[in-house]
């Protein structure tokens, strides 16, 4: 643990050593700013001096993200002083027992009911359900109990900002980190991050501010992102697709059905929207299944790399029918948070990596016209009042969201 720290990280660690932590300690700010790194060291130092027979908890949105973001790096930082088992949902840090938990939904809160905790660590707190966090604080009842958490900023009306960070009555330490605070990042990488994040995502993830989402969603989307069929053929001849996925969204009343087929070239560098199907009528389930079969067969013929369809998981019966209609893997869409999906698309656009075939007019129109819902004050919502085509956007995002790590290398 003699690794060098950035000045901001050294300041944060000095607080632990001098007893300057409060009951709730939140490290917030820009992406890649060094929050998670120092939070693990702070947590280790603090736990090492806390009661040996106490109970400690580490939580992430899921156990898988907790492992990737925190537990694995902690093995590197603490060596023999830290070990864990995901199957037993337990670990040991400087001889203290650590419970591990996922906070995926409101029900997860029941998993920590009844515990008495001396300390807790939360990874990416803003994506936890508020109920889980409230329950966690109520379980931190041992004397001197403390919580350390990291988060990126979100909507200023988000529960974490409104009810905790802005609540002066709480014993809460708010440590802000910006991209510049991380002196370990190569300048070239920082420059590319700054060009990829735009609009509200620039304010939040680069500047580290809690900013509301307003106006046009895909600010940088323009005719430059549209590609003619001839140009598409030529580009794919030079750099062939390695895989492709069809995203599927189907609405109930008033909403359309959309299929969007997206391909990826080597290293998931370029993202090509190859074709679309859009039916505003939604006449019957049978018609939809037929259309899906027709579209899938035709696309497979044109692009043999087609590997899966990812469908809105709301209608499991339809997915079952899709599965028996086609010889293609049909999966449930991951349905990541809408702002996460939008940020992904915007980063691709700003980096010049998204190319939409001119044969997809519905998706092009949707990308041009989507706006944030300014009446939503607690979270980011895409305006869905029937005036814009949300279905094509959902379908497109379902086709790319599972490749977030491959596309952005984190």
Contact residues for ligand ATP, defined by CB under 6 A = 3-6, 9, 31-37, 150, 152, 177, 182, 184-185
**Least distance CB 68 / ligand ATP (angstroms):** 11
**Least distance CB 246 / Mg ion (angstroms):** 32
**Least distance CB 158 / ligand ATP (angstroms):** 15
Task: Round to whole Å and give the CA distance between 13 and 23.
Answer: 16
DSSP string of 135-174? HHHHH--STT-EEEEEE----TTSHIIIIIIT-TTS-EEE
Closest CA relative to residue 119, chosen from 44, 176, 169: 44
Residue 182: which of ligand ATP, Mg ion, none does it interact with, CB under 5 to 8 A by kind? ligand ATP
Task: Round to whole Å and give the CA distance between 277 and 257.
Answer: 8
Neighbours of 303 (CB within 10 A): 20
Helix (H) or strand (E) holding 258: strand 257-265
Residue 343: which of ligand ATP, Mg ion, none does it interact with, CB under 5 to 8 A by kind? none
Residue 102: which of ligand ATP, Mg ion, none does it interact with, CB under 5 to 8 A by kind? none
Closest CA relative to residue 218, chosen from 389, 64, 81: 389
Residue 36 or 178: the one with the smaller Cβ distance to Mg ion is 36
Sheet holding 96-102, edge to edge: 82-85, 90-93, 96-102, 56-60, 119-122, 146-151, 24-29, 172-177
Position of minimal CB gap to ligand ATP: 36
**Least distance CB 383 / ligand ATP (angstroms):** 28
**Least distance CB 82 / ligand ATP (angstroms):** 17
Residue 321: which of ligand ATP, Mg ion, none does it interact with, CB under 5 to 8 A by kind? none
In sign, the C-alpha dihedral spanning 155, 158, 160, 161 is: positive
Determine, following the binding rule CB under 5 A, whether residue 65 of this chain makes contact with Mg ion: no
Helix (H) or strand (E) holding 48: helix 35-48
DSSP state of 239: S
Residue in 5, 13, 15, 36 binding Mg ion, rule: CB under 5 A: 36
**Least distance CB 240 / ligand ATP (angstroms):** 32
Candidates 29-37, 179-187, 217-225, 268-276 — which segment interacts with Mg ion by CB under 5 A? 29-37
Candidates 34-42, 132-140, 225-233, 309-317 — which segment interacts with Mg ion by CB under 5 A? 34-42
Q: Residues in the site for Mg ion, rule: CB under 5 A?
A: 36
């Amino acid at each position: 643990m003699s690794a060098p720290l950035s000045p901001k990280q050294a300041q944060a660690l000095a607080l632990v050593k001098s007893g300057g932590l409060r009951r709730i300690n939140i490290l917030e700010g820009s992406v890649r700013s060094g929050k998670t790194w120092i939070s693990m060291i702070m947590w280790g130092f603090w736990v090492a001096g806390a009661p040996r027979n106490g109970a400690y908890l580490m939580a992430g949105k899921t156990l898988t993200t907790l492992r990737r973001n925190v537990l694995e790096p902690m093995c590197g930082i603490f060596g023999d002083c830290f070990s864990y088992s995901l199957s037993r949902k337990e670990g040991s840090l400087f001889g203290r027992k650590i419970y591990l938990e996922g906070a995926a939904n409101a029900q997860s809160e029941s998993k920590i009911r009844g515990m008495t905790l001396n300390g807790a660590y939360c990874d990416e707190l803003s994506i936890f359900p508020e109920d889980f966090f409230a329950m966690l604080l109520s379980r931190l009842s041992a004397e001197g109990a403390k919580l350390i958490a990291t988060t990126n900023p979100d909507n200023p009306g988000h529960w974490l900002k409104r009810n905790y960070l802005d609540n002066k009555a709480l014993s809460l330490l708010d440590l802000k980190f910006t991209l510049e605070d991380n002196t370990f990042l190569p300048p070239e990488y920082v420059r590319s991050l700054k060009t990829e994040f735009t609009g509200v995502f620039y304010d939040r993830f680069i500047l580290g501010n809690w900013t509301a989402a307003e106006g046009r969603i895909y600010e940088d989307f323009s005719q430059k992102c549209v590609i003619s069929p001839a140009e598409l053929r030529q580009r794919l001849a030079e750099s062939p697709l390695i895989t492709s996925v069809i995203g599927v969204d189907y609405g109930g009343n008033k909403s359309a059905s959309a299929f969007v087929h997206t391909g990826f070239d080597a290293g998931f560098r370029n993202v090509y929207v190859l074709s679309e199907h859009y039916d505003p009528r939604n006449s019957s389930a049978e018609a939809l299944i037929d259309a899906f079969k027709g579209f899938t067969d035709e696309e497979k013929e044109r692009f043999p790399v087609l590997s899966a369809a990812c469908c809105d998981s709301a209608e499991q019966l339809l997915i079952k029918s899709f599965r028996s209609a086609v010889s293609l893997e049909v999966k449930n869409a991951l349905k990541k948070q809408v702002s996460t999906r939008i940020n992904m698309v915007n980063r691709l656009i700003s980096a010049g990596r998204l190319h939409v075939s001119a044969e997809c007019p519905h998706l092009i129109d949707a990308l041009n016209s989507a706006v944030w819902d300014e009446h939503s004050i607690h979270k980011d919502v895409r305006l869905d009042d029937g005036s814009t085509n949300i279905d094509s956007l959902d379908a497109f995002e379902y086709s790319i969201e599972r490749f977030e790590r491959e596309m952005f290398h984190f």
